[in-house]
């Protein structure tokens, strides 16, 4: 069942990335956590379909699932309320796949049909997310990138608000890493 669900994920990711490329230059797309998490998911699903549930594959699957849960959470609880773009972000275009369908299918597949990694990998999604966040903060501070998410706009938000955002997001990804790893 895991292979079938991951094959569906691969198909959805190909559809979503083809839609994304129409809106963004492929290189610029990878400033988005969403694109990075979905690209890792595509790779991990391809590896699972080809090689099965080997430990290394499951580590990458675990990382991608945690990042996808974070993607869904940020979209549903921060980006949609701030922008008012429910349909655009969750129910149309690449958002339907990258923000909604792939996170749901991937999480269900991992929790119910895939072998789990040991809890000593719980740090991996947190570190990857922290590194991404620090890079985005630095690029925003240097005015090399604007956003791509409102909580990275350090010059608009100020240092205090940015630190609060980063602490909150690190707590959230830590909770998701623990929950996905534990379930």
DSSP state at residue 30: T
Q: Cα–Cα distance between 137 and 177 in angstroms, integer?
A: 22
Q: What is the domain range of residue 86?
A: 2-182
- Joined together, the tokens standing for residue 92 give 């149309």
- The Cα–Cα gap between 183 and 179 comes to 6
**Mean of pLDDT over the chain:** 93
Q: Which residue has the tokens 């072998």?
A: 115
Confidence of residue 136 (pLDDT cuts 50, 70, 90): very high
Q: How far apart are CA 69 and CA 53, in angstroms?
A: 21
Q: Based on the structure, what is the number of domains in the chain?
A: 1
**pLDDT given for residue 80 in this prediction:** 97
pLDDT in tens, 31-73: 999 999 999 999 999 999 999 999 999 999 999 999 999 999 9
The pLDDT of residue 27 = 65
Decide if pLDDT at 28 tops 90: no
Residues 119-143: what's their mean pLDDT?
A: 96
Per-residue model confidence as pLDDT tens digits over 84-105: 999 999 999 899 999 999 999 9
pLDDT bracket for residue 174 (50, 70, 90): very high
Radius of gyration (C-alpha) of the chain in whole angstroms: 16
């Amino acid at each position: 069942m895991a292979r079938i669900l991951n094959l569906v994920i691969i198909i959805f990711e190909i559809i979503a990335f083809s839609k994304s490329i129409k809106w963004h230059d492929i290189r610029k797309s990878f400033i988005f956590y969403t694109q990075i998490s979905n690209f890792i998911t595509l790779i991990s699903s391809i590896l699972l379909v080809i090689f099965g549930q080997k430990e290394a594959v499951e580590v990458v699957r675990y990382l991608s699932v945690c990042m996808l849960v974070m993607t869904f959470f940020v979209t549903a609880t921060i980006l949609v309320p701030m922008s008012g773009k429910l349909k655009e972000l969750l129910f149309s275009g690449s958002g339907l796949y990258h923000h909604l369908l792939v996170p749901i299918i991937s999480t269900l597949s991992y929790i119910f049909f895939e072998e789990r990694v040991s809890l000593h990998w719980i740090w991996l999604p947190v570190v990857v997310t922290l590194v991404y966040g620090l890079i985005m903060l630095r690029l925003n501070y240097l005015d090399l990138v604007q956003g791509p998410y409102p909580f990275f706009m350090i010059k608009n938000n100020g240092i205090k608000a940015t630190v609060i955002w980063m602490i909150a997001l690190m707590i959230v990804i830590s909770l998701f890493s623990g929950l996905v790893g534990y379930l």
